[in-house]
Amino acid sequence: MLRISCPWCGPRDETEFGYGGQAHLKRPDNPEALDDAAWAEFLFLRDNPEGPFVERWVHSHGCRRWFNAVRDTKTDRVIATYRPDETPPEAAKMVLKGQEGGR
Amino acid sequence: MSTDLFRIPPELASPLEDIDRAHPVAFRFDGKRLRGRAGDTLASALLANGVHLVGRGIKYHRPRGIVAAGAEEPNALVQVGQGTRGEPNLKATQVALFDNLSAAPVNVWPSLKFDALAANELLSPLMVAGFYYKTFKEGPASWWDRVYEPLIRRAAGWGKAPPGPDPDTYEHTHAHCDVLVIGAGPAGLSAAKAAAESGARVMVLEDDARPGGHLLARPRRVDGRPGHQWAAETAAALAAHPEVRLLTRTTALGVYATAHVTAVERLTDHLGPGAPGPRQRLWHIRAGRIVLASGAHERPLVFADNDRPGIMLAGAVGTYVHRYGVLPGRRAVILTNNDSAYETALALLDGGGSVVAVLDTRREPSGPLVEAVRARGVPIRAGYGITGTTGRGRVKRVWISPLAEDLSPRIAETTLDCDLVAVSGGFSPVVHLWSQGQGKLAWDDRQACFVPDPARPAVEPISVAGAANGCFELAEILAQGANAGAEAARAAGFTAKATTPPGVEAPPATPPAPIWLVPSDKPPGEGVGKHFVDLQNDTTAADIALAAREGMTSVELMKRYTLAGFGTDQGKTGNINALAILAHELGKPIPEVGTTTFRPPYTPLTFGAMAGRQVGALFAPERVTPMHDRHRARGAVFEDVGPWKRARYYPEGGEDMDAAVARECRAARQAVAVLDASTLGKIEVEGPDAAAFLDRVYTNTLSTLGVGRIRYGLMLNDDGRLMDDGTVTRLGEDRYLLTTTTGGAATVMDWLEELHQTEWPELDLHLTSVTDRWAVAQVAGPKARDLLAELAPDMDLSAQALPFMRFVEGTVAGLPARVFRISFTGELSFEVAVPWSVGGALWDALFKAGGKHGLTPFGTEAMHVLRAEKGFIIVGQETDGSVTPLDLGLDWALGKKKGDYIGRRSLARADLARDDRKHLVGLLTEDPGEVLEEGAQLVDDPDQAPPMTMVGHVTSSYMSPTLERSIALALVARGRQRMGQTVHAPLADGRVVKATIVDPVFYDKEGKRRDG
């Protein structure tokens, strides 16, 4: 069971948290302007890297707040966590940059 | 009652002895009354009584005895206790003796002494590795059920599962520490001491009842004192330390991600059944660092017929002599490839036994232990092995021979009579938890064992010290422990000083000279002798050779083919021999073959410990409404809806469900009825941006809703499917109350929080769950207004003052109340919400006044029927996660003139806009008495050969008391264009039911009844 550091509450057991998939996805401002393929891309397609991944978690059985985490999908270790309103830490920035490049 | 004849006389007792001779303990084994001493294990007490034969092999049913003295025991599995307290497959070596303990062997039939299945051995040429796969695929398929499976089930398995629920209690505890030390032998104690001195919070787990490890069973001196005394003093000092928690009788079971360690503490097992308090405690420990000091297990040597009772591990024999004052035999033969077994020889001699000979597979054994044994006049035969054994139920003779240089088969040279064979093949570090923590192993050629590879450390923060690390010299063990403890404390942020390890007196620990298979007169599999590698699974060297020949060249395949390493001991003694023999067969070095995967738990644990307190009523939380007692008093039958207990119907005078539901429905349609609707989810949304937020999450426009008005709303997923429905009431300019389905309340709350926090944090609002703030009575029926008017004399509940879909606050039955004109039945209906704590008072008041109006309580089943008569959907019944509002004909609830809302774009996707999608329709069966099965598939052509073309399915189906015929709702392809057409429901019993597609609203299509 992972130990995850909630940016508000501190380190807690994984059982207190819920998972929310890839972070920093931008909801399109005007979905009506998107064709079906572009809309489906937003709805259904996610990155699935081996290695660091920036994802969303929620402290369901704690403060009930959402936050972002950088987790290495290969070792299943959380590298960093941060609040949604914070500037992402370096570990997250590197991943996000890589994702943009990959698109 | 026989006495313990094999107890060493007090004058010869070892100074290490740890039993209370003054305190006899009566127990039963296999029906026989025996006596042990306080401090015995079941195994030591049996040996003290001369009982070696304790079970039978799983496959050949050969007699088996006690082999080891701890968790690694492969043979001595027993059933302890009786009835619901009976526990199968415990290792006798780990069962603490208590008064009136009753134990029985497992896997014997009809009895231990005469086992009918011992005849299996005659069939042994057929029972080679993989014999299940090979044998049982022959014959007709029906043989499997009728012949093979019953046979195998009778023959297989060990103990019996208890016949009923476990009467004992178990608990779970969570703990946190900076340094967790696993094992309290010399390395672990030394580590814990160093870590504790730094001020770190330390936990120490010891499997044994006493800390000390091998110091409890070998004469050593540490720091000028006997080793066991040093261990006791060190442990006492640790236990007294305010930051140290030392747990004995506690086995670490597994290492999981981020230094999460589970362990089971046996609290009362040594006291016998019925002792007060929980029986076992499962610990969940979160450690900063882990120091693994789990010791090593001795390996047996593999030779012909090495499985007879009386053939034991030499170290275990030493333990029984020193610690338990037991002579496991009076005339011992020792077979070894290292010096440690010579200590056993000395122990036996000191305890009054004799040693017939030491057979040493090495050509030139030497060293102080060897010389000490030689000096006692014991013949030492260097370069010898055992080529065979005999003895029914107990070893009585061994055949011996000098080993050929190339280890080729040898005819026995002579025999030795004996009643005990003590065997040592070297030691295997207990690396299980290191491997679970994803540390890798390296093969140590000198020590002939796998050790934790420091170059490939664990992902988890584990360091290893002592014998677990392949270190067998006591001085070095203590130093490694102290270093590991200090380093762990430093890593956890404490300042740990270097310490000088205490001086020791201990014999040198020389490495073994590996010999993986002691040759007999013929190669394994060719003679009559069996060379057992895994005693618990009856795997022989011949089985492993066969597996290799048949292509099972990976160690994992070999394990599954031969079963070596399965079972309750998981091959703790046999695995290394098995893989070394495989390596030899494949002509590969041992490290290239590698080990099988070490998985938790390290030792088996009882299901009760895993379940903890989460059994019975505490298995899952149950939620009840404040009216629950009233429902019970009326004899309601309940159903589970999400976590809630809801009254399903209220049978009267022996009614069945159909009769009760019909009566409840008629009351709602003809007079007045009341439903406990408290369980519906309720969420308050408050803040200046509440209206804007709700416009984005509901399909409807809610910003235009007037204060005091109510609207039915739909909530979609991002992909346009209906997620939940409910009402939205505008309580004030900036304040809304949402209702959700009973089962969907938590999901909706989470979804709204997620959207607010992650998508639109700029919107200023708060979400508050008020589900259990308000108890709700839904009063429905033509006389609902008359009844409520009586209870709320100050409120104007007329259709003019409180029209449909309006809300008002007031006083009902003297209670502060919110009254909503909402109808889920189609009748005139009021939902009266009062504070949760007075829900019962509201219910009582309704019934006090309701008698003359014919007030009848109705349950969820009648509610389902009433709403189906009106064609109202239930999310989760008419929907299944693929259904859109368009499918349901709810287009009217989709705001056309508003901005974007969740799901809107998806409704325009090609697939959701298809015109051949399934639509919600009503169905009327040709026979009005036929109630279709919910879920029944619908077809157009009932004569089509399967697979038939299915055009839809029934979602709801009831006998309607109002219409006095059956009704159903269904999803049918293009259903709305097919009104009046016929569909067919082919049933499982072969009948085909014909039905006509109709409008889903069966009753009061004009909606005249809702105003009363």
Tell me which of B180, B436, B614, B757 to substitute to probe the interface with A (most A C-beta atoms closer than 10 Å). Answer: B757
Q: How many CB atoms lie within 10 A of CB B500?
A: 7
Q: Does A38 touch chain B (CB under 8 A)?
A: no
* CATH (domain of B194): 3.50.50.60
Task: With residue B417 as reference, give the H or E element that holds it.
Answer: strand B414-417
Instruction: Check: CB of residue B578 under 8 Å from CB of residue B544.
Output: yes
Give the residue from B389, B408, B425 where a domain finishes: B425
For residues B389-416, give the mean pLDDT: 94
* B526 occurs within a structural domain: no
Would you call B757 and A66 a contact, using CB atoms and an 8 Å cutoff? yes
Q: B697 CA to chain A: closest CA distance, Å?
A: 14
pLDDT score recorded for residue B843: 98
Q: Does A90 touch chain B (CB under 8 A)?
A: no
Domain that residue B337 falls in: 300-425
For residues B189-201, give the mean pLDDT: 97
pLDDT score recorded for residue B147: 67
* CATH (domain of B969): 2.40.30.110
Instruction: Check: CB of residue B439 under 8 Å from CB of residue B461.
Output: no
Q: Rounded to an integer, what distance in angstroms lies between the CA atom of residue B700 and that of residue B636?
A: 37
Report the residue from A1, A40, A58 with minimal CB separation from B260: A1
Give the residue from B723, B752, B772 where a domain finishes: B772
Residue B915 or residue B430, greater confidence: B430
* CATH (domain of B854): 3.30.1360.120
Instruction: Check: CB of residue B392 under 8 Å from CB of residue B113.
Output: no
pLDDT tens for each residue of B221-263: 999 999 999 999 999 999 999 999 999 999 999 999 999 999 9
Q: Helix, strand or coil for residue B557?
A: helix
> What pairs with residue B562 in β-bridges?
none
Examine the domain organization and report whether B697 and B816 are in the same domain. no
pLDDT score recorded for residue B1: 47
* B624 occurs within a structural domain: no
* B801 occurs within a structural domain: yes
Which of B158-167, B209-218, B442-451, B789-798 has the lowest average pLDDT? Answer: B158-167
* CATH (domain of B726): 3.30.70.1400
* B550 occurs within a structural domain: no
Name the one residue in this structure whose structure tokens are 């130093």.
B479
Examine the domain organization and report whether B225 and B276 are in the same domain. yes
Question: Per-residue pLDDT for B154 more than 60?
Answer: no
Examine the domain organization and report whether B706 and B835 are in the same domain. no
Report the residue from B258, B260, B905 with minimal CB separation from A39: B905
Examine the domain organization and report whether B150 and B221 are in the same domain. no
| B191: CB partners within 8 A, 6+ apart | B179, B181, B291, B293, B465, B481, B482, B484, B485, B488
Q: Rounded to an integer, what distance in angstroms lies between the CA atom of residue B661 and that of residue B646?
A: 15
Q: How many CB atoms lie within 10 A of CB B1012?
A: 16
Would you call B905 and A13 a contact, using CB atoms and an 8 Å cutoff? no
What string of DSSP letters covers chain A? --EEEETTTEEEEGGG-EEEEESSPPPPS-GGGS-HHHHHHHHH-----SSEEEEEEE-TTTT--EEEEEEETTTTEEEEEE-TTSPPPHHHHHHHHHHHHH-
Contact list, A84 vs chain B (CB under 8 Å): 757-758, 761
Q: Rounded to an integer, what distance in angstroms lies between the CA atom of residue B70 and that of residue B208?
A: 9
Instruction: Check: CB of residue B952 under 8 Å from CB of residue B975.
Output: yes
* B212 occurs within a structural domain: yes
Q: B899 CA to chain A: closest CA distance, Å?
A: 10
Q: A2 CA to chain B: closest CA distance, Å?
A: 5
Q: Rounded to an integer, what distance in angstroms lies between the CA atom of residue B710 and that of residue B729?
A: 4
Examine the domain organization and report whether B148 and B44 are in the same domain. yes
For residues B274-300, give the mean pLDDT: 96
- What count of residues does chain B have? 1012
Tell me which of B750, B898, B905 to substitute to probe the interface with A (most A C-beta atoms closer than 10 Å). Answer: B905
Q: Is B221 left (phi over 0), alpha (psi -120 to 50) or beta?
A: beta
Contact list, B260 vs chain A (CB under 8 Å): 1, 3, 13
Looking at the 3D structure of chain B, how many domains does it have? 6
Q: How many CB atoms lie within 10 A of CB B875?
A: 21
Residue B642 or residue B845, greater confidence: B845
Amino acid identity of B119?
Answer: A
* B512 occurs within a structural domain: no
Give the residue from B163, B198, B230 where a domain finishes: B163
* B950 occurs within a structural domain: yes
pLDDT score recorded for residue B58: 84
pLDDT score recorded for residue B3: 67
At how many degrees (to 10) do helices B314-324 and B340-350 cross? 40
0.80 surpassed by pTM = yes
Structure tokens at B464: 């290893």
| B487: CB partners within 8 A, 6+ apart | B463, B496
Contact list, B761 vs chain A (CB under 8 Å): 84-85
What number of C-beta contacts closer than 8 Å exist between A and B?
57
pLDDT tens for each residue of B119-143: 677 666 666 666 666 665 556 666 6
Would you call A43 and B754 a contact, using CB atoms and an 8 Å cutoff? no
Can you list the domains of chain A with their CATH numbers?
3-100 (3.30.2270.10)
B547-555 long-range CB contacts below 8 Å, 24 or more apart? B547/B129, B547/B130, B547/B582, B548/B582, B548/B585, B548/B586, B549/B585, B550/B129, B550/B130, B553/B582, B553/B586, B555/B579, B555/B582, B555/B593, B555/B594, B555/B595, B555/B596
> What pairs with residue B172 in β-bridges?
B282
Instruction: Check: CB of residue B419 under 8 Å from CB of residue B329.
Output: yes
Examine the domain organization and report whether B141 and B31 are in the same domain. yes
For residues A58-72, give the mean pLDDT: 97
Report the residue from B459, B759, B906 with minimal CB separation from A75: B459
Examine the domain organization and report whether B799 and B721 are in the same domain. no
Examine the domain organization and report whether B651 and B779 are in the same domain. yes
* B38 occurs within a structural domain: yes
| B899: CB partners within 8 A, 6+ apart | B695, B696
pLDDT tens for each residue of B568-626: 888 899 999 999 999 999 999 999 998 888 999 999 999 999 999 999 889 988 999 99
Would you call B906 and A43 a contact, using CB atoms and an 8 Å cutoff? yes
For residues B834-848, give the mean pLDDT: 98
pLDDT score recorded for residue B138: 58
Beta strand B918-925 pairing with B965-973: antiparallel
Phi then psi for residue B176, to 5 deg, are -130, 140
* CATH (domain of B106): 3.10.20.440
Band of residue B491 on the pLDDT scale cut at 50, 70, 90:
very high
Q: Rounded to an integer, what distance in angstroms lies between the CA atom of residue B545 and that of residue B548?
A: 5
Contact list, A56 vs chain B (CB under 8 Å): 758
pLDDT score recorded for residue B1011: 87
Residue in chain A nearest B174 by alpha carbon? A13
Q: A102 CA to chain B: closest CA distance, Å?
A: 24
Q: Does A40 touch chain B (CB under 8 A)?
A: yes
Q: A36 CA to chain B: closest CA distance, Å?
A: 6
pLDDT score recorded for residue B152: 61
Amino acid identity of B264?
Answer: V
Report the residue from A18, A34, A56 with minimal CB separation from B758: A56
For residues B765-770, give the mean pLDDT: 98
For residues B715-731, give the mean pLDDT: 96
Q: How many CB atoms lie within 10 A of CB B671?
A: 18
Question: Per-residue pLDDT for B347 more than 90?
Answer: yes
Amino acid identity of B534?
Answer: D
Q: Does B259 touch chain A (CB under 8 A)?
A: yes
Residue B772 is given by DSSP the state G
Question: Per-residue pLDDT for B858 more than 60?
Answer: yes
Examine the domain organization and report whether B791 and B937 are in the same domain. no
Would you call B757 and A75 a contact, using CB atoms and an 8 Å cutoff? no
Would you call B909 and A36 a contact, using CB atoms and an 8 Å cutoff? yes
Examine the domain organization and report whether B674 and B818 are in the same domain. yes
> What pairs with residue B115 in β-bridges?
B110
Q: B721 CA to chain A: closest CA distance, Å?
A: 13
Task: With residue B321 as reference, give the H or E element that holds it.
Answer: helix B314-324
Examine the domain organization and report whether B765 and B779 are in the same domain. no
Report the residue from A2, A30, A43 with minimal CB separation from B718: A43
Residue in chain A nearest B755 by alpha carbon? A66
Would you call B754 and A65 a contact, using CB atoms and an 8 Å cutoff? no
Examine the domain organization and report whether B317 and B398 are in the same domain. yes
pLDDT score recorded for residue B134: 65
Band of residue A52 on the pLDDT scale cut at 50, 70, 90:
very high
